[in-house]
Amino acid sequence: MKARALVAWNVRRIRVDRGISQEQLAYDAGIDRSYMGSLERQSENPTVDLLDRIAETLGVHLSEFFVQPPKGATTPKTLPKGRKPAPPRRKKK
């Protein structure tokens, strides 16, 4: 697996394991949400500084992004799409 694919796979794996959305991770790491999506799709080549910020935000060591997945491992599942439904509105009297 190439380095960019390895980093993308591990960022997504760790993020999904922790139940964090791309939007929340991007916000907490101080980057754009669309950039986070591009990173996970392997469209972007992140800097070491950016990977360090993402690792710190996720609470893992930077080396976790370079762990080889076990043979036969499937792509990490995604979190449920969409925003959480808004609570019902109260009727005005």
Residue range of the domain that includes 7 = 3-65
Residue 59 located in a structural domain: yes
Give tens-digit pLDDT for 55-84.
999 999 999 999 888 787 777 777 666 555
The number of distinct structural domains making up the chain is: 1
43 domain residue, yes or no: yes
Decide if 13 is inside a domain: yes
* SS3 of residue 92 by DSSP: coil
How far apart, in whole angstroms, are the C-alpha atoms of residue 11 and residue 52? 12
Structure tokens at 37: 């999506």
Confidence of residue 1 (pLDDT cuts 50, 70, 90): confident
Read off the CATH number of the domain in which 31 is found. Answer: 1.10.260.40
For CA atoms 72, 73, 78, 79, the dihedral sign is: positive
Query: In this structure, how many other beta carbons lie within 10 angstroms of the beta carbon of residue 75?
Result: 11
Contact 28, 15 (CB under 8 A): no
Which residue shows structure tokens 């794996």? 13
